Each structure stands twice: as structure tokens, then as C-alpha cells.
Amino acid sequence: MNLKHIRQILKDTDYVRTGGSAEELRAAEYLKAEAEKMGAAAWLEPFPVQMAAVRSASLTADGVEIPCLGYRNCGSGEIEAPFLYLPSQDPVSLKLAKGKIVMIDGGLRHFGYQDLCDSGALGFITYNGNVDFPDRDIDDKELRGFVAEGRKTLAVNIHAKDAPKLVKLRPKTVKIAVDEEEFEGESRNVVAEIPGKRDEWIVLTAHYDSVPLSRGAYDNMSGCIGLLEVMDKLRGTAPHEYGLRFVFCGSEERGLLGSKAYTAAHEEDLKKVALNVNIDMIGTVMGKFIACVSAEEALVSFIKYFAVQRGWQIDARGGVYSSDSTPFADHGVPALSFARSAPSGQSNIHCRYDTMALLSDEQLRDDGDFVSAFTSFMADAAECPVSRTIPDKIREDLDKYLNRKR
């Protein structure tokens, strides 16, 4: 793709597109049309997602109102209880939570949430943002199904600037009220194919949804542009030995829901997948190019050698990456994620500051060219050299990441 085309895609998708929303569907149809322009067969694969519309939410501390947003999918109701700020969740701290509404640092994560519920916490307050930034944006959060596991507890989110004010206030009680409508909605994956000489595939993935506050240029329309760049480069030399399947994943920001849905629906087809290549956040003006490999250590070494041969700087390691490569690895498919990791202070994601200004059109093209060259090498192999064995250490990391083990 030329630089003008790259910039046009960024402009055309410069809007919030949360999982399950009408805007996400708009982006899905746009990416499907882009793939079809390149001659690829493309279609949408819908999957169900839990949705909620919060009608109202409030937080009061000894009668003083604190601006907040209610967690989607936390249920409806009203509770009043003593307030507790709990920066740690060690055994002593957990004993303090019984009968309290608890404010924690960070979000509601699986084991922390379950431990606090077991300890008798009655409700939750979280916060987001930065006390040094000018905005007062409050993130629209949800109590994810795999976090709650059916245990719904009222929760609200406030801004970081109000969190210390709440602690200093030392309220005797706080009151949370949430009123919401919960329903089943629909997200979708966008799938496109360039068939190969054999019925075996390399699957490339990138998510196209964003979080509620973000237009998601860096995270992750940049990765979608990377997929389109690979598609554009490799269509001219098709058919390759292996077919190329491109999956633009929906609802990644809600817990990898799109890639989880794809791998669950295509479990038999995954036996024909030699490799998953995921692209999540590339093309920033600043930062280093990285690869995180959920496969045999030999692939880490090969990626380093391949990059050196091309004069390309890379930081490659083995591990589990928090993106759509993870469900593939969990299903036994060798997987890796490519990204350009921007240094602290040079980029911000999951907020209003994730915009086109973070990205370089030239760097997006160059990053896409490297992924294209790597994919072409694997797609043209007489036999994909990557073992389908997932190392024990990676499996252990997958168990931890997917909340099967602490």
C-alpha cells in the first residue's frame, strides 16, 4: 500500500469502536471491503457478546457526590456500607474487606475479584486516568464474565483525581447505585483468504476494536493496516505453498473475545494451521520492534537471525503476549505477536490520546514490510519448520494468563 492509502485508512477509522457496538460493525464492514478490493474472499463471522446499557450510576461519600460511571454487567441495585481503601490484597488486608465497599488500585481482575468477594466485600470502586493530565475522562468499564464467574457485585469507576480526595475525606459510609439493562449483543470477526497450493494455512490476526475512550489508531488500527499490508504484498505472488487466512478480531479489548470465539468455532480447522502471526500495535514514531513467541525457542532464534539478515532491529523473546495470539497458542497452534513498543511518555493507549499523531505512515509501511517478508518465508516453505509442540513453560504461562492457575 502507498502512504496515501495508509493515511486514508487511519482517517476513515478515526472513531471509537467498542466491542459489540454499531461503530465496531461499521469498522468490520470497512475492513471487509478493503480486503475485497485486494481480491481476497472476505466475510463476517458473528459471535455473541454480553452487553449492558447503564441508565444511571452514582457514588456518594457521607452525602458528597463523586462523579462516576457504573460498571457494565455488574447488575442493578443500591448499597451503602463503610468505605475501605485497599491498596494491597494480602491476607491481612483481605480480612478488612468484610462488609465494606472497597476501593482498589487497578481494575477488577479474576483472582483479586474472587478473593475480595470471598472475603465479604459488598461493592467496588476503581479509578483510571492520570492526575497530571488535563482531562477528567472516566473509563467506561465492565465486569467481565470470566472475571465475575456469575458473581455480580455493584461497582463504579471514578477519575484518578478524585481517588485521593475520597481517601482524604475518610467517609464513614459510601453509597453505590447502579441501574442498567443487560442483554446479549453481537460482535464479529472479519475473515479473508488467499488460498495456497495445499489445504494448510498460516493465520494472521489483528484486532480492530477499541476501548470506550479511545479512537484506537495505535491500538490497534495500526495492526489492521499491517494485515492489509501483508495481504497487498503477498497477493501478487500467490498462490503460496500455504494458504493465508487473515482474521481481523472483534472485541479483543473485552478479553480476547474475538480470537477466543474464532478458535472455539474452528477447532478442527486449527489442525491445518501451521502458524499464527499476530500484529498488535506497530508504526509508532518512537519505540522498538518486538516479537513475543508462544512456541518453541528455536523460532525465537530464527526470528533474530531473519531480522539480522534483513538489517532489521528486533527484540525477540519467548512468552505469552496479551493479545489474539494467546488463544491460538492455547489450542496448540504455534503463535507469535509482532509489535512496536513505544517508550513511556511517547504513547498512550486505552485513552483519548491514542490518535494518528502517535504514528508514522512510513514506519507503518516498513513494519508491515518486515511482517510480510517473514510471512512470505513461512508461506513458501516446503514444510513449515515450526514445531507444533507448545513448551511446558509457555503452557504454564498460558494457564496463568487465562486464569486457570494463580
pLDDT at 307: 98
Under DSSP, is residue 353 helix (H, G, I), strand (E, B) or coil?
Answer: coil
Of 146, 171, 196, the position where a domain reaches its end is 171
Task: Name the phi and psi angles at 164, rounded to 5.
Answer: -65, -30
- Cell matching residue 23: 461503530
Task: Report the 3 state secondary structure along 229-281.
Answer: HHHHHHHCCCCCCCEEEEEEECCHHHCCHHHHHHHHHCCCHHHHEEEEEEECC
Whether residue 157 contacts residue 139, with contact meaning beta carbons closer than 8 Å, is answered with: yes
Same domain membership, residue 266 and residue 373: yes
Total of domains in the chain: 2
Whether residue 332 contacts residue 273, with contact meaning beta carbons closer than 8 Å, is answered with: no
Same domain membership, residue 329 and residue 207: yes
Residue 55 domain flag: no
- The length of the chain in residues reads 406
pLDDT at 138: 98
Of 171, 203, 220, the position where a domain reaches its end is 171
Residue 263 domain flag: yes
Same domain membership, residue 213 and residue 116: no
Q: What is the CATH number of the domain that holds 394?
A: 3.40.630.10
d(CA 83, CA 80): 9
pLDDT at 31: 98
C-alpha distance from residue 60 to each of 66, 67, 174, 175, 361 (Å) = 6, 9, 6, 5, 47
d(CA 118, CA 101): 14
Of 145, 171, 197, the position where a domain reaches its end is 171
Same domain membership, residue 244 and residue 345: yes
Residue with cell 475512550: 213
Same domain membership, residue 27 and residue 75: no
List, in sequence order, every residue forming a beta bridge with 341; answer none if it has no partner: 288
Residue 141 domain flag: yes
Same domain membership, residue 370 and residue 227: yes
Q: What angle do CA 304, 308, 314 make, to 5 degrees?
A: 55
d(CA 302, CA 282): 21
> How much is the pTM?
0.96
Residue 177 domain flag: no
- Cell matching residue 373: 517478508
Residue 57 domain flag: no
Residue 282 domain flag: yes
Same domain membership, residue 380 and residue 244: yes
Q: Element (H or E) spanning 57, and its range?
A: strand 41-61
Whether residue 372 contacts residue 381, with contact meaning beta carbons closer than 8 Å, is answered with: no
d(CA 328, CA 280): 15
Same domain membership, residue 262 and residue 191: yes
Same domain membership, residue 244 and residue 120: no
Under DSSP, is residue 72 helix (H, G, I), strand (E, B) or coil?
Answer: strand
Nearest to 205 by CA among 262, 279, 290: 279
Under DSSP, is residue 79 helix (H, G, I), strand (E, B) or coil?
Answer: strand
Same domain membership, residue 33 and residue 75: no
d(CA 230, CA 232): 5
d(CA 312, CA 301): 14
Q: How many CB atoms neighbour CB 290 within 10 A?
A: 18
Nearest to 55 by CA among 183, 146, 210, 150: 183
pLDDT at 43: 98
C-alpha distance from residue 237 to each of 194, 232, 266, 298 (Å) = 11, 10, 27, 27
Same domain membership, residue 327 and residue 236: yes
Q: What angle do CA 148, 152, 154 make, to 5 degrees?
A: 120
R_g over Cα of the chain: 22
10-residue averages of pLDDT along the chain (406 residues): 96 98 98 97 98 98 97 98 97 96 97 97 97 96 96 98 97 98 98 97 98 97 98 96 98 98 98 98 98 98 98 98 98 98 93 96 98 98 96 98 96
Same domain membership, residue 206 and residue 82: no
pLDDT at 241: 98
Q: What is the CATH number of the domain that holds 84?
A: 3.50.30.30
Residue 82 domain flag: yes
What domain range includes position 157? Answer: 63-171
Residue 181 domain flag: no
